[in-house]
Amino acid sequence: MRFRFLPNLVSFLPAILAQTTVSSNKDADCRCLYGQSCWPSEQDFSSLSTLLSQPLIRPVPPASACYPVGNPSGNCSDVQQNWVNGNWRADQPGAYQNVNFETYTNRNGSISGCYLNTTLGLPCDQGSIPPIGVDVRTIEDVQAAVRFVGQHNLRLVVKNTGHDYLGRSAARNAFMIWTHHLKNISYNANFIPDGGLDNETVPALTLGAGGGLQWREAYAAVAEQERFILGGISTDMSVGAAGGWIMGGGHSGFSAKYGLGVDNAIQFTIVKADGDHVVANAHHNPDLFWALRGGGAGSWGVVTSVTYRTYDLVPLTMSFINATFSDPQVAQEVTTEFIGLHPKLSDAGWGGYSFFNNQTIFAAFLAPNVSWADTNATILPFFDFVKNATGQPDTPIFTQPFDNFHAWLDALQSQGSAGGMEQVGGFGELASRLISREAAEERPEETAQLLLSFEFVSINFVAGGAVARADPDSVGLHPGWRKAVAHVWTSEGWEAGDSGDVVRQARQRVAREVRRLEPISPDSATYMNEASLYEPDFRKSFFGSHYEKLRSIKRKHDPRSLFLVAEGVGSEDWNGSLTCPV
């Protein structure tokens, strides 16, 4: 199927971990993994524990509470009830928002995991979930964990909520730094970056840490100040606000008005590979500040806070259409018109989200600081075009004004997980590209025809406008973002318990779909946080002309590549499992 956006387990842990042991480490340059002779002893871990504010954690698959079958080790009903709840998943150190990253593909092609569907008759395996880690609550916890990893040369992952379509926060037999409980929020109407001048004051919100704060919490905090912050939009608003989202660029349905997350970040604090806790802004470590804004999650250290500028609240309107198509020609006509709208709307600061195929189109538009009357004047001609083209005058549409962002968000959340769509708890991987302004403005018919050749695609209106007006070299983000008007993605999925062959074929289709999307993209660019593990050249697609500068910064601040992730800066120097240099 296609991917939709659609307790005490200590006694059970040894049985799970017994299935994940590996041979001894034969190469001193390789990372040390659980089960190898180089793995730290219990005495080593006990020594680490004395430096921490919390006990060490032993992450297990969330479905393990339902095993052994017939005599569950935990609260299986709680797991079943919350399986597709993003915030519940974020609270479990062993849970990932996409379940495929909990699993592991064995050398023979079979899949090891722990499935909620116990009737499959499959064993509950640890998969790619690290067997041990640190639940960091303080900066000192982070420093102790990072130094321990460096001392023992461990394969490291940094995890907060588990929202990651590249699986960068999972790794089999690795050591986990879990930042989910590193939470703090502070607002300063006259924030001055460290080292800045008195005339650099900015009304800003500082969020900690390593993504520990989620956007639902950040929005609640900024609402108390009657301010707006540019942030992520997802069901449950469970995405981390100070971690992978910002380091990958940080898009939003409000980006055309306010820019990307990287354009709104004023200052970071971060624990580097040597364990030092430093400030990165325009005055201190400016090279690292540049890299953190778009240079990719998991490559630079453990981010402990991000400070964002905030804005005055303004009214906004939302528009919506959900049409069906009687034949492919009608779909072509409507989507051609739809694609051609993007440059005009983004120039005016509009954003939003959509998906379509040859049978239907759903689109929601967000227009900040645009009156209801002006919204109607802009969007109703397109809605009328759709009604006429489809011959369906009763096509569901609406436009609605809101006092401000927070009123809109309250209305959205009152629908329950963004109207009931499920974004988590399934198996799937993405293929994506940015849509260039040229493709939308000068080749809308050709672009629409290409996108309609997929079973479905989704377009996020998260570029153009303020994004396009920013200096492409001001941050480490791929400069292709400044030539784009939107981000398009499609996906492949499978069911729990599907064979390795089924999963392999789905992944092969994703790899082909990445290449098929090339014609729409500026410089083969895409949004790395919603992208493919099968990029032909991730350096080109994720970083573009900025890659060599990012690589130089990486060598300076993390010369041993302690922080290493799939398709991250410097990962080309390591094998596929990121355990040994090549």
Residue 7: predicted pLDDT: 35
Kind and range of the H or E run holding 218: helix 215-224
Greater model confidence, 419 or 62: 62
* Residue 542 contacts residue 550 (beta carbons within 8 Å): no
Question: What token pair was written down for 496?
Answer: 């729990």
CATH of 316-403+426-536, picked from 1.20.1260.10, 3.30.450.20, 1.10.15.40, 3.40.462.20, is: 3.40.462.20
How distant, in Å, are the alpha carbons of 81, 95, 170, 529 from that of 88? 10, 9, 18, 21
What sign for the dihedral angle of Cα 336, 337, 341, 343? positive
Kind and range of the H or E run holding 312: strand 311-312
Residue 415: predicted pLDDT: 74
Residue 213: predicted pLDDT: 87
What is the Cα–Cα distance from 86 to 238, expressed in whole angstroms? 6
First to last CA, the chain: 36
What sections of 299-454 are H helices per DSSP? Answer: 328-347, 372-390, 405-414, 417-420, 437-442, 444-452
Scanning the structure block, which residue is given the tokens 């956006």? 5
Closest Cα partner for 45 from 130, 129, 127, 134? 134
Tens digit of each residue's pLDDT (9 = 90 or more) over 208-228: 755 578 999 999 999 999 999
What is the Cα–Cα distance from 160 to 245, expressed in whole angstroms? 11
The string of DSSP letters for 92-108 reads -TT--SBGGGGSEE-TT
Closest Cα partner for 541 from 552, 527, 553, 551? 527
Q: Tell me the pTM.
A: 0.94
Q: Name the E strands within 142-276.
A: 156-159, 175-178, 184-191, 202-208, 227-228, 265-271
How distant, in Å, are the alpha carbons of 7, 125, 279 from that of 78? 10, 20, 41
Tens digit of each residue's pLDDT (9 = 90 or more) over 472-529: 999 999 999 999 999 999 999 999 999 999 999 999 999 999 999 999 998 899 999 9
Percent of the chain scored above 70 by pLDDT?
93
Question: What token pair was written down for 434?
Answer: 């940015």
Q: Kindly give the interhelix angle for 328-347 and 372-390, rounded to the nearest 10 degrees.
A: 160
Q: Kindly give the interhelix angle for 328-347 and 444-452, rounded to the nearest 10 degrees.
A: 120
Residue range 273-297: mean pLDDT, rounded:
98
- CA 559 centroid distance within chain: 26
What is the Cα–Cα distance from 411 to 145, expressed in whole angstroms? 41
* Residue 443 contacts residue 485 (beta carbons within 8 Å): no
Tens digit of each residue's pLDDT (9 = 90 or more) over 304-327: 999 999 999 999 999 999 999 999
Closest Cα partner for 59 from 147, 142, 112, 127? 127
184-313+545-573: which CATH topology? 3.30.465
* Residue 491 contacts residue 429 (beta carbons within 8 Å): yes
Domain ranges in the chain are 13-178, 184-313+545-573, 316-403+426-536
pLDDT band at 27 (very low <50, low <70, confident <90, very high): low
* Residue 321 contacts residue 383 (beta carbons within 8 Å): yes
- CA 545 centroid distance within chain: 22
Indicate if the pLDDT at residue 13 is higher than 90: no
Question: Quick check: do 184-313+545-573 and 316-403+426-536 share a fold?
Answer: no
Cross-strand pairs, 35: none
For the beta sheet containing 202-208, the strands, ordered from the edge strand earlier in sequence to the opposite edge, are 184-191, 202-208, 302-309, 265-271, 277-280
SS3 annotation, 38-90: CCCCHHHHHHHHCCCCCCEECCCCHHHHHCCCCCCCCCHHHHHHHCCCHHHHH
pLDDT band at 422 (very low <50, low <70, confident <90, very high): low
Residue 51: predicted pLDDT: 98
DSSP 3-state of 319: strand
